[in-house]
Structure 1
Amino acid sequence: MPVSKLLRKELQHTADECIDCGKCMTLCRFLAESGSPVSIALKGLASDDDVDNLSIRSYDCSTCGLCSAVCPVAAQPERMFKELRNHAQANGLFKLEQHSPLLKYEKLGRRFPFKGEFIPDGCTTVFFPGCTLPAMHPDSTRITYKILKRNDPLMGLVLNCCSKPSKMLGLKSRHEERLSTLVHHLERKGVKKILTACPNCHVTFKEFNTKLEIVSIYRKLKYLNFTPVRPKLKEVTVHDPCVTRYETEMHKDVRALLKAVGVRVVEMKHNRTKTLCCGEGGATQFYNKIYAKNWSRKRITEAHRTGVPMVTYCAGCVNFLGYNYPTAHVLDILMVKRKGIPKPVAFPFNYLNRLILRFSAR
């Protein structure tokens, strides 16, 4: 199949820059079993048929970016693997039947009755909680919105999907079309700023290069006048979602919010820029459960060593880790009085939570 200029550029960049030091391979099972980034890139440059095979193999990759984060020479192999997925979908090389639950979840998030918006006249800022936060943590989502409206009565709420799953799976054109439609709709409504609670939505909006100002809710809450609950937890360890790997201000804001309510943070070995994937990254669990579980096991092993519960700011990470290790969402810690850390919300109650929020959030 024809290889795009962008994919060839990424293959060449990795081939030119990777020094085969093995640092990424010691941390990533996918690379340990597939070969170093330079060996993969050279194979792709040697043959278009090999590019096709590599593009299918890229669905074993979590696209979490740890390889790029630990690379001493900025080879950035993560970009190569993402572009290989785009190649797979552009040329019909890899069917996404196994990923249909995720794509269906995205589709429902963009349609009634889950889709909804409350944008009053004169509104310039909207709260965009994403799909999974309202499903898994409806109380903290609702309370957060009330706090925002108390400080800004014209604050809007948009319940929609940023189409990150399509982007992650290589459906580049579909993602760009859907996100463009959403962004232009908000611009026509007079929206100037989006407050994001989901880190995936936050980074997706930022990478789209929209004129809208994209601000993390954790940055907003850090400087907002509100009274958080006094949590039962006194010590936690923070799991930084891999999508926030380079969102250094968000790392600081979350920890500052925890410190402000008297919660001490015990750091894991891999945190912030060098955080580990929870296992959900790249939707690898739909194609290679072994690799996904390997990431989860690594993350939970490090959490165990701290001896304290885990807190994160991605509802998807809570869902992926929370069944096997006590894991709370930071908004639950700040907004909701709880005696302990509940298990993640299971189907179909997650969908029910989204509907309840949709029809009660005004």
Structure 2
Amino acid sequence: MPVSKQLKKELQHTADECIDCGKCMTKCRFLAESGSPVSIALRALSSDEDADTMAIHSYACSTCGLCSAVCPVVAEPERMFKELRNHAQANAIFRLDKYDPLLNYERLGQRFPFKGEFIPENCKTVFFPGCTLPAMHPDAARVAYKIIRREEPTMGLVLNCCSKPSKMLGLKSRHEESLSGLIHRLERKGIKKILTACPNCHMTFKEFNSKLEIVSIYKRLKVSKFMPVRPNVKEVTIHDPCVTRNETDIHKDVRTLLKSVGIRVVEMRHNRTKTLCCGEGGATNFHKKDYADHWSRKRINEAQRTGVPMVTYCAGCVNFLGYKYPTAHVLDVLLVKRKRIPKPVAFPFNYLNRLIFRFSNR
């Protein structure tokens, strides 16, 4: 299929900038087995057929951005792989049937009874917890909302899906139509700020470049006068979600909150901007499960070396790592009294939690 101007631009950028140093290949199994970014870019530029082949191949990439983070120049191969996915879907050369569970999860989040918008009079700020936090950590989501609303009574609540799955899988038009509709609806109601609790939602809203101010709940809690619970752990290591690898303020805010309640942070080798993917990134587990499992093992191996439990601020990461290693959500540690770190919530209780959260916070 003909290559779009945007894809050609990204391919040419990687081809021009990548110096084939191999740094990203030592970090990523996908690149180690597929070749350097410049070799992939040059092949895709060689013919439309090869571009189609590389577009299909891009679904083995976690799109986690570690390649760009360790790159000594500005090749930014992550952008190339994302655009290759857009090409695959725009030209219908890669079927997404196997991703139906993920896309159905997105659709449900955008429909009644899971969808809900509760916007009081004079509301300027809404809390957007995302799909997975209320499903996996309903108590933490409830307490966080209660704390902020107590200090800002006119704050609203929006339960919806940011359509990150569609964006991640290359369904660019569907994602843009869905997200623009949501944002424009909020703007018409006078909303100026979205308070996010999910890193994927945070980045999805931020990258959409709307006029709305996007603020992480960790920034808000840092200046809030809430009463944290007595933590059930004294030391933790932090898994920074790969989607927020360049959000240095969030990295700092999460660590500040944990240290403020007396928790010592033991850093893993790969943290903050150099963090590793938990294995969920890019929905690679639906297409190349061994690559996803490889990321999970690398992350857990680093956590095991610290000898302390892992915390993260992504409910999806907790779900992906928590069955194999003690992994807690930061909001659970700060706001919910527990004796131990629980295992992730299993189906169908995650859906039930979302419904309870929705109808108990109207």
Structure 1 residues without counterparts, runs of 5 or longer: none
**Which residue is equivalent to 2:122?**
122
Shift in Å, 1:42: 0.6
Deviation >6 Å, runs of 4+: none
Match of 1:20 in 2: 20
Q: Partner letter of residue 264 of structure 1?
A: R
SS of residue matched to 1:49: helix
Q: What's 1:64 paired with? A: 64
RMSD: 0.5
Q: Following superposition of structure 1 onto structure 2, how do residues 154-193 of structure 1 map, counting pairs within 5 Å?
A: 154-193=154-193
Aligned identity (percent) is 80
Number of the residue aligned with 1:235: 235
Q: Distance in 2 between matches of 1:331 and 1:25?
A: 35
Aligned to 1:360: 360
Q: Distance in 1 between matches of 2:213 and 2:37?
A: 35
User: What is the 5 A alignment of 1:39-118?
Assistant: 39-118=39-118
Q: Which amino acid aligns with 1:275?
A: T
C-alpha separation between the residues in 2 aligned to 1:44 and 1:96? 21
Q: Mean Cα displacement is larger for which, 234-243 or 147-156?
A: 147-156
Cα deviation, residue 257, structure 1: 0.2
Give the CA deviation at 1:146.
0.5
Q: The residue matched to 1:194 in structure 2 has which SS?
A: strand
Q: What do residues 142-193 of structure 1 show as CA deviations (whole Å, max 9, x unaligned)?
A: 0111101110111111000000000000000000000000000101111110
Return the alpha-carbon distance in structure 1 between the equivalents of residues 224 and 339 of structure 2: 26
What are the within-5 Å matches in structure 2 for residues 276-291 of structure 1?
A: 276-291=276-291
| Structure 2 residue aligned with 1:138 | 138
The secondary structure found in structure 1 opposite 2:346 is coil
**Equivalent position SS for 2:43:** helix
Equivalent residue, structure 1, for 2:319: 319
| In structure 2, C-alpha distance between the alignment counterparts of 1:76 and 1:230, rounded to whole Å | 43
1:250 pairs with 2:250 = yes
TM-score (norm 2): 1.00
2:272 maps to what in 1?
A: 272
Offset at residue 232 of structure 1 (A) = 1.5
> Per-residue CA shift, 1:69-118, capped at 9, x if unaligned?
00001110000000000000000000000100000000000000000111
Residues 183-222 of structure 1: pairs in structure 2 closer than 5 A: 183-222=183-222
- Displacement after TM superposition at 1:128 (Å): 0.2
Counterpart Cα distance in 1 of 2:103 and 2:33:
28
Report the secondary structure of 1:79's partner residue: helix
Aligned with 1:294: secondary structure? helix
Deviation at 1:208, TM superposition (A): 0.3
Distance 1:184 1:7 in 2: 28
Amino acid at match of 1:46: S
| Equivalent in the alignment of 1:5 | 5
Q: Tell me, what secondary structure is at the counterpart of 1:130?
A: coil
CA distance in 2, matches of 1:152, 1:38: 50
5+ residue gaps, structure 2: none
SS in 1 for 2:214: strand
Aligned to 1:117, the other structure's residue is in SS state strand
CA distance in 2, matches of 1:236, 1:16: 42
CA distance in 1, matches of 2:224, 2:246: 24
Deviations 1:317-348 (A, max 9, x none): 00000000000000000110000000000000
Shift of 1:294: 0.2
Partner SS for 2:277: coil
Amino acid at match of 1:77: P
SS class of match (1:320): helix
For these two proteins, the number of residue pairs brought into alignment is 362
Q: Counterparts of 1:263 and 1:50 in 2: how far apart (Å)? A: 51
Q: Which amino acid aligns with 2:230?
A: R
CA–CA distance in structure 1, aligned partners of residues 154 and 79 of structure 2: 40
Secondary structure (helix, strand or coil) at the match of 2:158 reads: strand
Shift of 1:47: 1.1
